């Protein structure tokens, strides 16, 4: 009984480190037994955001999507991406193996974009800009640290504020987290940053991680569906998971990790409306350049081999429409069809 009371006090102390309400997406980087890396992610949201998959080729003419003053660029890399409400790229992997995942962050403050004097970019285009332009985490950190644009964040189609932080990973296992807090860009760059969730801000997530490492997951782990608790459980499970050499076992391990911290459909907290069900899960196999997708509304997993997509310059954008919640299994690159790209979130 004394031990239980002790761990109960520890849990209460840990939860007191942060105070927040947020949906609880998770992103992690898993190292396989062959030294390659796999990125796992869950999308947790209060409703189905109508995600489709897209194949965007090299050579696409792009702009920030917010009208006059928008930044413009031409994509250097092709990518497979997941859309969000058909107004944003929320994650993806490019042909160089760079993986980008954007997760909601309540504390986000991009500042006054129009007063910055910089070229503008919609928050919906932020992730795509990175996938289009960079091959490695280090390259992206170097370029984005110079703040070449200011982010405009209109309200999302469901009425929620469009605030998020961006995580990157590449074939070397490098990792970076980008957050805008109080109008300032904060970058955390280190391969050891293998887990990220929504709130709290990443510096507080690191404090949580250090605290719980002293306790040990075999003794006690926090168990709610809030972001901080799921962050702690993911950290522990990721460190405990074996580094599988067999490709199938490595992917199965990554899926087991993300499922272990997923929230069942229909689960919600009326007092904290952003705590929500897991709508879908993805696994980005950087070594094999293969993107796996699992919808909570479907009993199957499918994947896309990037090398089988038409991503060279001159190819047309292509879409895998998931609006009807189709049951797809196996490799699905042949199911993409030509389509006009969605427009990034704007006022």
| pLDDT tens readout for residues 297-337 | 999 999 999 999 999 999 999 999 999 999 999 999 999 99
Report how many domains make up the chain.
Answer: 1
Total-model pTM: 0.89
**Is 209 inside a domain boundary?**
no
pLDDT tens for the chain, 347 residues long, are: 444 344 443 444 444 444 444 457 899 999 999 999 999 999 999 899 999 999 999 999 999 999 999 999 999 999 999 999 999 999 999 999 999 999 998 889 999 998 899 999 999 999 999 999 999 999 999 999 999 999 999 888 888 878 899 999 999 999 999 999 999 999 999 999 999 887 777 666 665 665 555 555 555 566 666 766 777 778 778 988 999 999 999 999 999 999 988 888 887 666 665 578 999 999 999 999 999 999 999 999 999 999 999 999 999 999 999 999 999 999 999 999 999 999 998 87
**Is 202 inside a domain boundary?**
no
- The H-or-E segment that residue 165 falls in is strand 164-169
98-115 core/surface letters (b: 16 or more CB in 10 A; e: else): bbbbbbbbbbbebbebee
**Is 232 inside a domain boundary?**
no
Tens digit of each residue's pLDDT (9 = 90 or more) over 140-151: 999 999 999 999
Could you give the CA distance from residue 308 to residue 202 in angstroms, rounded to a whole number? 36
Q: Give the number of other Cβ atoms within 10 Å of residue 131's Cβ.
A: 27
The domain containing residue 287 runs over which residues?
21-192+240-246+256-338
What pLDDT, on the 0 to 100 scale, is given for residue 269? 66
Q: Give the number of other Cβ atoms within 10 Å of residue 269's Cβ.
A: 14
CB 116 within 8 A of CB 94: no
Catalytic residue positions, numbered: 25
**Is 251 inside a domain boundary?**
no
**Is 211 inside a domain boundary?**
no
**Is 29 inside a domain boundary?**
yes
**Is 182 inside a domain boundary?**
yes
Q: What is the CATH number of the domain that holds 175?
A: 3.60.60.10
**Is 11 inside a domain boundary?**
no
């Amino acid at each position: 009984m004394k031990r239980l009371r002790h761990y109960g006090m520890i849990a209460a102390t840990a939860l007191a480190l942060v105070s927040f309400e947020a949906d609880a997406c998770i992103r992690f980087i898993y190292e396989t037994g062959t030294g390659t890396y796999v990125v796992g992610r869950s999308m947790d949201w209060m409703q189905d955001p109508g995600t489709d998959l897209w194949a965007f080729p090299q050579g696409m003419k792009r702009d920030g999507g917010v009208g006059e003053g928008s930044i413009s660029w031409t994509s250097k890399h092709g990518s497979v991406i997941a859309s969000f409400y058909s107004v944003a790229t929320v994650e993806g992997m490019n042909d160089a193996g760079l993986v980008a995942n954007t997760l909601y962050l309540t504390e986000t403050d991009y500042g006054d974009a129009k007063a910055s004097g910089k070229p503008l970019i919609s928050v919906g285009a932020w992730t795509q800009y990175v996938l289009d332009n960079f091959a490695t985490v280090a390259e992206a950190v170097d370029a984005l640290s110079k703040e070449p644009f200011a982010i405009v964040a209109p309200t999302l189609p469901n009425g929620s504020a469009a605030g998020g932080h961006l995580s990157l990973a590449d074939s070397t296992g490098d990792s970076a987290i980008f957050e805008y807090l109080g109008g300032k860009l904060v970058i955390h760059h280190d391969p050891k940053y293998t887990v990220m969730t929504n709130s709290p801000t990443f510096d507080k997530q690191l404090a949580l991680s250090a605290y719980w490492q002293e306790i040990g997951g075999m003794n006690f782990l926090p168990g709610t569906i809030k972001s901080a608790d799921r962050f702690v459980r993911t950290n522990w499970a990721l460190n405990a998971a074996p580094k599988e050499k067999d490709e199938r076992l490595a992917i199965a391990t990554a899926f087991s990790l993300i499922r272990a911290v997923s929230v069942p459909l229909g689960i919600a907290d009326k007092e904290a409306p952003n705590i929500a069900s897991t709508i879908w899960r993805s696994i980005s196999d950087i070594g094999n350049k293969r993107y796996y997708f699992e919808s909570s509304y479907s009993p199957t997993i499918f994947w896309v081999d990037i090398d089988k997509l038409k991503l060279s310059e001159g190819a047309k954008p292509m879409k895998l429409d998931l609006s009807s919640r189709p049951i797809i299994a196996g490799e699905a690159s042949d199911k993409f069809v030509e389509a006009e790209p969605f427009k990034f979130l704007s006022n």
